[in-house]
Structure formats: structure tokens, C-alpha cells
Structure 1
Amino acid sequence: MTATSWSPTDSAYQAWLLRAHEELRANTLPPRATGPVRDAVLASWQRSLATVSEAGGTAPAALEGHELTDARRRHLFSAVLPLLRSRLIEPAVEAGLMVALGDADGRLLWVEGRPQLISRADDMGFAAGADWSEHAMGTSAPALALSTAAPMQVVGAEHFHEAVHPWSCSAVPVLHPLTRETLGVLDVTGSTEAVSPLVLPLLEATARAVQEELRARLPLAPPESARTAARRPRILPRSPAASIELLVTGRRTPLLRQGTRTIELSGRHAELLTVMHQRPDGISGGELAEQLHGSVTAEGTVRAEMVRLRKVLAAFPDLEIASRPYRLRGPVSSDLLRARAALERGDLEDALAHAAGELLPASESPAICRQRRRTATHLRELVLETGTSAQLWQYAQRPEAEDDLEVLMAILAIAPAEAPERSAAVARARALRGETG
């Protein structure tokens, strides 16, 4: 076995790595190993020895509470989160993997995945706010991507810490589009699927899309401003416009709001904005026609609707629709994407707060119906798995849950005898069963 023949599923390679760790701890591993360990990994191990205790395995918390919130707000990734969700986070999470977005210092600002996986990763300190730089946690894909400024994969026992050996990860650095300084890192972590041949191309394509989107959003700066920005690559160089809110859950009349300005949207305009908001890299007229009307032959109808929508959006100077492909340009957020993000990290309280109800309940568009079912199913599962009796009753007040006997039974299973939601759940369950008295 040679250094270029390593495989994430090769048990002989992993066994060799474990022996190499023992030699490393005993200080008998040569500066350049004769076995298959890769040069970049070996060099990282040697650097890690000077700064990291291998007996540990839990990342130190670097950011918490308001500090984490502020770091997220200031980082340029916050301006392109919809793109990151559609291009990377959603497909990776659906595949059973985690996605971490880190800053140039190796601090994880966002970590998203299914609740069970997030809980396992949290045990080793792989969580939002944690420091996963090389000097803090030793060899890992995000640490190597930052230290080498190149795409990296780290498999099992290639990690410096034993606690991280059950995991594998792939990561790529993201460059500031103006200064070319390292802005941050995109990471996919999980089983050996996290180092499959498909993952690095996905990460690299997403990094390029992020850089292009930021290039379009940031003003061209003179050399002096660029040099100043290079010293602070994670800070927005201008004050962003107030966010424009797209409110499309639990509403018969969807809204578009910025500050004190609010307009009501027609059903079709809300559908167009919802689909485009989830495709920050753009969508063709034919795709829109198929998603909203069920046929590419309706592309002419889409063009006409887009003309009318542009007139409506004239009330929001910070928001525009670009063409070829169609895409939204401006500081747009939505209750739908905030709810989905909360669901992905298992935060039921936030999910209930952001998703006021079903997505565009009056819409019959194929794409909207699929998204409505997906979000509603995820929310219901999370409520039943993790909800308190009060949260279950809060969910039961929604129109889509009025006749959900399983939710009522879940309330009765955990609610204290004196809890008001218990008696209310009993009354509704009896009514659903046709019981009296």
C-alpha cells in the first residue's frame, strides 16, 4: 500500500494509521513516514503535537451567545445563506451528513444536520461557536483546508484526536472575491460518505458560487480600500440594506415587508418569489414554468407574470429580478427558510415561531405543494419526537393539525395532570372520536 492508494474504507490503511499514532505519541514516528500516511496529514500531525493535547478531544468553545450571533451577522457568509442552503446544506443534510461553515480562524459559525447527528457531533465539540483550527483541535479537513489554502479530505484515524476517528470530513477554503484573502471554510462531515467522490466537487462548486455572488454584491473598491478590507476579510465593507421579509407560511395573503413598508402579494407572485428565493444561483423560465404550472410550455405565461411582478417590486428599490437566469438580487430573507434552518438543527421553538403555518396553503403549484408537504412533515415529526406538552398543544392549534389524534395522544402521554393543555386535549380527542360526557 502506498501513500497514493489510501481509501476511506480500507481497514488496513486505518489500522496502519492507528499504529502511526502510537509511534507519534512515543516520538518514534519519522519526520517522513515510510507507510501510506499522506504528507499533508503527517505534517499536520507534527504541527499539532506542539499545540494540542491528544488526550483531549473536545473543541474549546470560542464563541457563545451574543458573540456567536454577532460573528455570524458580520461574516460575509450571512449575505449568501440562501445560496449555501440550496447548493450545499440541503442536499448534504438530506444525504445524512452535516455541513459546517467556518470563518478564517477555524471557528464554526454554523453547523447544520439532522438532530441525531448534531447531538453525536456535539459530544466531541463539533458545534457552532467551537474552535476547530489546527492549533485547537489538530488535524481535520477544515483545519487543513485553512492551513494549506486547498481542498482537503480527512478520513477516520487521519484525525489527530482519537475522539474524532469515527468521523470523516471534506472541506474547501472560500476566498474573498476582492482581496483574495481566505474568507472562511465550507465543510461536510459524517460517515465515509462525507469523503465520497461527489463531495469535493460539490464543495468546490459551492465555493465558486459564493465568491461570484459576493462579487456581484460588493462594491468595487479602490486599492486603498481593498488593502484595508484585506486586514478584515470577514467584515462587510458597507452597511447592508434593511432585510426584505418574504412572509409565506400560514397566510392566505402572503406579504413582502421592509421596515414599515408592506405590500400584499398575489398567489402567483408569492409562488415566483418563493421559488426564486430558494434558487439564489438562478432558475430558467422553463424550470419556473414546470415548477409552477407543471409544464415547460407555460414559459410564456411565466414571462408575462414576471413583467407584472417587476412592477410590484418597484416599491422596494433594494430588490430586483435579474434575468438569464431569473434570480433575486437584494437582502431577502423569508419565514420559510428560517423555519427550515431551525428544523435542520432540531430547534423546535424557533421552527414553530418562524413557520406560522403551512406554506402558501392556497397554492396548487406542483413545486409549492412538494415543499409544503416536506416542511409540514418535518415539523410534525420534530414536534412528536421532542415537543413538550405546551409545544404539542401549540402545534395542535394549527389548521393542519386540528384533527391530528396522534398529536393529542402525545400530549396526554406527557402533560402533567394539572396542565391546561391536558384537559383541552382530552376534550378535543373525545370530539374527534365522537364521544360524549
Structure 2
Amino acid sequence: MGDANLDAYSRRLRRIHETTVGEPRQLISASWRRSKAAGVDPESRAAPLVYDGSLIRDVRESHPLQPVLPMLAETLRRMADESEHIMIVTDAEGRILWRDGDLGTMRRADVVGLADGHHWSEISVGTNGIGTALATRKPVHVYSEEHLLRVLHCWSCSSAPIIDPDTDTVLGCVDVSGITRSLHPATVALVATTAKLAEARLALMMHERDERLRRKYDSLVQRTGVLITKTGRVLAGDHSGRLGARITLPEPGGTDCPAGILEPFFDGYLLRPASRTEALPLRLAFLGEGPPIARYGDRFLTLSLRHAEILTLLALYPSGLTAEQLSYYLYGDEGNPATIRPEIYRLRAQLGEAVAAKPYRLVAPLTADFLELRQLLTANDPEAVARAYAGPLLPRSESPEIRSARDELEVQVRASLLTHGSADALWTYAQTVNGRDDFQILERVAAALPSSDHRAAAARARLSP
């Protein structure tokens, strides 16, 4: 395309950009809509800086693309030798990890943040080669006024995502950018080829790791487990094929998954069948003023308040809760899911396989005094309710959800006894922390029992000012 045609195309795109109507390419039109929905200001002057110079080296060294950066740099530099371009590699979020190229072009790029550590996702700077390639998982050429930001109208860029051959997730993006007149749209084909070269190199490295792991596995005298990579791919030992190509790995620090028990094995895992022994029963005693007690099998455990709260919530929600839900139920809007996971790990150290993950739930045969009390209330048996009620549910808990459950139980117990309870049941309730000074309960006891009954005398004494 000659200069005259480029100028004409640029003028046409400028008119489109002004009116945001009649976008020439559906890919760009869709990107503009996403960018505007994210609130990107077309008058923004530069991409935001997210990694300064003191951090970028460490970020680059720890990134999965680090092993292929030398190959990418060598390939793209050859392209730059013939033009005034810059070459860029980003992470999956569009943050620039590496840049090289023509010095004059890099100085101009610094002004708009097209440099190490700056963020070029669509939600940061709108439509651009890097952000749009990452959003669509496709090679993209964005020319001149196709950029949403006006300050980028003198730039064009060709970008392609790099896909992890192991997990099929986006690892990052490779990009060539330059002043509009110097970058031909056909550059995107060269950039896409470079991205494919990086993926091929990563695939080769993955297969080499797999082979090393298989050799370690084959050297075992007894191969009783299934060989799993650190990303969950099944490599060997699943002769029936029941696991498929990949399994879901547990959260960091966990060892159990629906398929069995994972054991670390060099750079992967051995998956062994879960124990077929009968699950130990779990009994929770959380009503009343004493410390919360759990019985797991034959062991009695005195629990911290936080662990008792977590077990209470898991018992109230048997289908399970995520870390976010647990955090909200425990702390309300101030909760942080990151504080839940270490508590769960410590709880599982005491209760072992009774607590499962994804979502967090109780898998042991469960009984609990507060759940049994709920059932008795439903059965409308006030005498049994009075015997089962030992006091409020975790009275020291400030968890919003547990306070709500506690208050609900209190109201139901008191209403059941006042409506249908015998004098014996009312007196039993009067020995609890909430019933001790309950004026209405004590009046009923004093009225229902003979004046010679010591319980009636005690009730009258409590009622006296």
C-alpha cells in the first residue's frame, strides 16, 4: 500500500473514530466496545506503570516465558534491523516484560508507556495490538486510528498471543510496533510465526520434562501409583484410562483430590488410591458456655473458637462453601479469603480427611448438638428440646452468620417452651445462661409448681427485686 493510500485509509479511520459508527472491522469494533465498557478514556496519554525497574528483572526471571526470551529476542531483532521498529514481549495480563529495537522509536515509545513494566491490556489503554491479541487469543494488526486512545494514532502494532502447550492458557504476547507509515499490516504474519516458534520450543521443553519424569517412574521397583505432572496431566500408570488426560489438582498445601491421594514425586506426583477404610465419625458439641468440643473417632479435641466457627458453618451448609463465602460468613464485608486457607490447613491437621476442599465441606459422618436441637424443634417435642438445649450456640462468636443462627435457635427454643413446655421443661431451661433471669419463664415456673416445691421458691427468689 502506497503513502497516498495509507493517508486516505488513515483519514477514513479518523472519521470513524470521531463518530464511533461504521467500524471497518468486526474485531476492532468488538474491542472498542469492550474498552468503552471498561471505562477507558480515549484522551488518556500513556499506559500505566505497574512494575518499576527494581522489580521487572525479578518478574522476568520468574515468568514461564523466560526460557524462550533469548529466542524471541534473536528472531525479532533480525526483523528490526530492516526497519525502525521495536519488539515487545508481555505477560498474560499485557504487562511488558522485555523491549528492544530502534533507539529513536523507543524514545518515542517511552512517551506513551510502550516500555518495560507498563500495562497494555484493553482495560488499561483500550484497543491495541497487545491487549486485543490477548483478549481474542488471535494474532492482531491494529493500525493508526483503530487504537481507541488518540495519542496512539501515529502508531501501528502487530501482536500474537503465546499459548502454553501444557495448559492451553495464555502465557503472554509477542509484539512488533512502529510508527504507522513504517509498519506494514503483513508484519502480523511474521509475529504470529514467531509466537508459534515460542510455543514449539515450550512444547519441546514440556516433552523433555515428561520423559525425565517417566524414566524416574520406570525405575521404581513397584509402580503402584499413577504418574501425574505438576500441572495435572496423566503420564503413566492409568491403564484403564478412567482418569482421562488430566486431573484437577488440590489447592496448594493439599494432597487429596477426588481421584485419590497425591504424593510428591520429583517434578510431579504419584496418585495413589484413596484409603477404603470406613470414615471416622465427627461429633460437635458447641452449645453452652463451655469450650467447643469435637470428637473425631475416639479422640476428643478442644477447639479454638475460629475452628469451631468454621466447623459450624460447614455443618450448616453441608453442600460446601468457597473460601470467599466462608470469609464473608465469618467476618462480613471485612473478610479476606486469604485468611481462611491457612485456618483450613490447621483444622485439617487435627481432623484429617473429615474436611474436604473445592468447595470446603465436611465429609465425615456428622452429628452436632445444635443440628439435633433444630430437628427436635421441628418435631415439636418441648421436653426433648429442654433436655437437648445446653445454652447458646458458640456464645463468644461474633460471626454474623453464627450470631444469626444462634439468635434463631434462642427464639425457637423459648417459644416452644413457653407455648407447650411443662413445668419441668421450663425449669430445665431456667438453668441455662439465657433462662436464668428470664422473667416470663420464671413466672410460669412459679405459677405451675406447688408453692412448697423448691423450684417454685427459687423462681420466686429470682423474680424478687
Higher strand share: 2
TM-score normalized by the length of structure 1? 0.46
Greater Rg by CA: 2
